[in-house]
Structure 1
Amino acid sequence: MHDVRLVREDPAAFDAALARRGASASATALLALDEQRRQTIAAAQAAQARRNELSKAIGQAKAKGDGATAEALMRDVAALKERLPALASEEQRLGSKFETALAALPNLPLADVPDGVDEADNQLVHERGRKPVFDFAVREHADIGPPLGLDFETGAAIAGARFTLVRGHAARLGRALGQFGLDVLTRDHGYEEVMPPLLVRQDAVYGVGQLPKFEEDLFKTTDGRYLISTSEVSLTNIVREKILRADELPLRFTALTPCFRSEAGAAGRDTRGFIRQHQFDKAEMVSIVEPDRSEAEHERMTAAAEDVLTRLELPFRRMKLCAGDMGFAAARTYDLEVWLPGQDRYREVSSCSTCTDFQARRMNARYRPEGEPAGATGNQKGPTRFVHTLNGSGLVVGRIMVAILENYQQADGAVAVPAVLQPYLGGLNRLEPR
């Protein structure tokens, strides 16, 4: 959600920033609606004030025994009484229309975000690690995986396309990856582990910016709840409708959860293999910080995700996404892409975004700056500011499993186990095909 005051102060700059995102909305239309709303509020307030004045005057007329004047004033009050509900209804209608229009607009890109419309315009920040060299014909994970326990056919038979039954060595590898990711993020990067709800209310999904625009990407239950597409939804909403103390910040959360995505619009993309699934496990990172610390926190979070890949000895690169390729709530996004030798290309395995105060405004998540007075009733009074929120993929189990299968594949069909994962697999250093 945007601060409408910024739109009023510089509508041309707002339009220019929206244009970078490919959004067709304009500040002019938004401000026209805002002006209608404000005029209606002013009219309602004036009508109520006039009613109060007339009511007082009626009492004074009656006290003087001036019945004719009192009768005339009572007719005016009756007319106002009839008008006020209509004004209130119009105020509500325009307010709802204005909020809907504002909620449909994406976050504005930060100044250093490159211009562009899609992934072809993203910028390389750096590359890390060495690409493996093979002396045999390299295979894709979709061919390596089935003898190790990636059962695509049974998964589809049970649940349909884009579901996979994972068993045996592949299941053990997935469990090891999840535990490893949590350990790195909690032990070495200071994230607090959380076990959040997987089903959330509509306002939680709205708070992170996935509603109303992206409802078709979500799975909705019969009672109106939504299955989380990422634990970012649950973790970020921990601070919903709260006023935090400055000394409580930063807050850093991580959770390893199943994630559910309808993959609307993905027809024909990655239909083979384990890359794009309706259900997958992911260790997510969420940070809640003061505004002046969000820049440093974005780098810190992305470095944590890079540390996971570095320890797994997977070659990867960091990309800064262009304005047209970022997610709806993001103001800047770094994607980490790992090298897949079987596909002979880099594929995204982590996305780390700073959302500035965009999500916080939708959730009404605030903090009281250090040194500001709390007021006579504690933390319910005194000036507050919106927090900044950040989120990132610490470890997406399925995609990292794909990367391991392809980068650690052996000529005989086995897959070597990265050294850091061997303790999680009882010392096993090779996954043998069956």
Structure 2
Amino acid sequence: MSFTAPPVQVAGSTARHGHALFILTVLFFMWGLLTSLNDVLIPHLKSVYSLSYVQAMLVQFCFFGAYFLVSIPAGALIKRLGYQRGAVAGLVIAAAGCALFYPAAEGGYGLFLGALFVLAAGITLLQVAANPYVTALGDPATASSRLTLTQAFNALGTTVAPALGGLLILPGAVLSLDELARLPEAEQLAYRAKEAAMVQGPYLALAAALLALALLFALARLPRVAAHADAGRAGLRDALRHRHLLLGVVCIFVYVGAEVSIGSFLINFMGEGHIAGLSHAEAALYVSYYWGGAMVGRFIGAAVMRYVSPGRVLAFNAAASVLLIVTATQTQGPLAMWSLLAVGLCNSIMFPTIFSMALHKLGPATGQGSGLLCMAIAGGAIVPFGQGLVADWAGVQTSFLVPAACYLFIVYFGVKYARLHRDGNP
């Protein structure tokens, strides 16, 4: 059984692919925006419903858990509908998830989690279709650079989202648990209802934008895409024979987990008195620096990796991330805060580089490999949950050692790939 859409071949000259890449970058932007809004939702819902860190991380658990559960049926759906109509279906499903935020605001935390799962299911459908499509639109030798460039627009969405979400969703001042407990029960209920309703307007607007984008995408003329001639004869066993794919799957798991986990805890981290003492709304603006660093780095990385081995760039960035996180856990004040924010710059090239490295020379097994990699995005569900356990036990600052351990494995993968690439046997 195929895990995702089969490898693709694009008809026509590469000179005509610019239009298709432009349309795909819009999709990358939108799912970056929607994904990064979770960093604002988590502290907001944590405050509204008086959640522990583990409970608050159920936001990411449900959101990224959809990648694991939906990737296989998404691949089958795209194979049946085709890339373009599959992307339209993903946009419509994501719009439905956003619309569900309206009743969720009146129904409680559980309904929010359900709405997030539906939203993520739509984004998963887009991911499964778009990533291999981008790698097919041009010379395979520059696939890392091309995917990095389109991912830069995903990073633009993640950069805009925290500042926008902080403005529209997070209030200027949040009642602490002690302050809320001192209020009469009726006032507590009114406060929670008011704060929960803050998400209704922004997510309804996003639902409308996604539906409009679905309509435009349905009417767009994209290059004809056909399945690889040998795709039907390649199965999961063929894909699993490639060691660099297996390592790449683990790498995507720990990378997405680390990146998402850091973003999820940043607002609470910067709210600590010995770090910056910022309000949630103030801290949300700084989260944009974290994701903005990834955006800037991807534009730079798209050019650098035309001349430098992707494995070496990946290992260097991952090692720098470890050093920055350790600094953030062992210091206080601005040094700790800016060290952690700087990890975003190091993250810049990691996802597209790992993805394209893992798919390198898989041939007919590329479809299965892409499906496994998309399923590994479930790391965004598990790693934040693990960091939440540590945060409840040892504190927010110490908990960042969890993503630091994830980056250590990425260092290994980068070094390993660079050596194999040099030997011509990836």
TM range (shorter): under 0.3
Greater C-alpha radius of gyration? 1
| Larger helix fraction of residues | 2
**Between Structure 1 and Structure 2, which shows a larger proportion of strand residues?**
1
- Structure 2-normalised TM-score? 0.24
Structure with the larger RCO, 1 or 2 (CA within 8 Å, 6+ apart): 2
- Normalising by structure 1, report the TM-score: 0.24
